[in-house]
Amino acid sequence: MGNTSSMLTQYDIEEVQEHCNNTFSQQEIVSLYQRFCQLDRNSGGFISADEFLSVPEFAVNLLSQRLFRMVDGLNFKEFVAFLSAFSSRATLQHKVEFIFKVYDFDGNGKVAFSDLLDVLRDLTGQFISEQQRELVLTHVLEEAGYKKDSLLVLSDFTKILGNTGLKMEVEIPVD
């Protein structure tokens, strides 16, 4: 796909749409492309760390580092697929999978206690001691029927998050 050109052809749009399982409309894909080009200031075909962090709203987000590592170096097609979890047309399962991927840092399909601890650390910083964090996590895990050394898989996440009415949607501005 012509990442360096500033115009998308109908073929390109359809390819991207297929890649993201039709979670975005064609108009939304065009808007996302404009945004991608706007962020990718040096037209490298992907958005670099500096370019992402120049968006202050993203830079102050607590999980920006994790998200950035997931989205680093993606070309436009993959960028749209990454954002597809936030579409209103995305299924609940898709959203749960996305959350799982954020936790499963090394991508081995299992989320360990240390992964849970890492995310909790990002969210709470220095305002909870490391010991307290471990205690909190152990407590809620045991209450839910898991042990401290259990490895959570995607189906566990689906079970835990599946029926909570997950709200994870972003509206793509369409001019």
Partner 1 sequence: MVMISQRNPLSSSTSKMSKLTTSSSELDLDRPNIEDYLPTDSIPQPHAKLRLRDLLDISPTLTEAAGAIVDDSFTRCFKSNPPEPWNWNIYLFPLWCLGVVVRYGILFPGRVLILTIGWIIFLSCYIPVHVLLKGHDKLRKRLERALVELICSFFVASWTGVVKYHGPRPCARPKQVFVANHTSMIDFIVLEQMTAFAVIMQKHPGWVGLLQSTILESVGCIWFNRSEAKDREIVARKLREHVEGYDNNPLLIFPEGTCVNNHYTVMFKKGAFELGATVCPIAIKYNKIFVDAFWNSRKQSFTTHLLQLMTSWAVVCDVWYLEPQNMKPGETAIAFAERVRGIISARAGLKMVPWDGYLKYSRPSPKHRESKQKSFAESVLLRLEEK
- Around 56, how many Cα atoms within 13 Å sit in the side-chain half-sphere? 0
Does 147 engage in binding with partner 1 (CB under 8 A)? Answer: no
State the SS3 of the chain: CCCCCCCCCHHHHHHHHHHCCCCCCHHHHHHHHHHHHHHCCCCCCCCCHHHHHCCHHHHCCCCHHHHHHHHCCCCHHHHHHHHHHHCCCCCHHHHHHHHHHHHCCCCCCCECHHHHHHHHHHHHHHHCCHHHHHHHHHHHHHHCCCCCCCCECHHHHHHHHCCCCCCCCCCCCCC
Among 146, 150, 151, 158, binds partner 1 (CB under 8 A): 146
Q: Closer to partner 1 at the Cβ: 11 or 127?
A: 127
Among 74, 137, 151, 154, binds partner 1 (CB under 8 A): 137
**Residue 123 Cβ, how far from partner 1 at the closest point, in Å?**
5
Does 105 engage in binding with partner 1 (CB under 8 A)? Answer: no
User: Among candidates 70, 144, 63, 146, which has minimal Cα distance to 111?
Assistant: 146
Residues 72-101 that bind partner 1 (CB under 8 A): 83, 86, 95, 98-99
Among 2, 5, 49, 58, binds partner 1 (CB under 8 A): 58
Q: Closer to partner 1 at the Cβ: 11 or 164?
A: 164
Q: Closer to partner 1 at the Cβ: 8 or 83?
A: 83
Residues 15-44 that bind partner 1 (CB under 8 A): 32, 35, 38-39
Q: Using CB under 8 A as the criterion, which residues of the chain lie in contact with partner 1 when the complex forms?
A: 32, 35, 38-39, 52-53, 55-64, 67, 71, 83, 86, 95, 98-99, 102-103, 116, 119-120, 123-128, 132, 136-137, 139-141, 143-144, 146, 157, 160-161, 164, 166-173
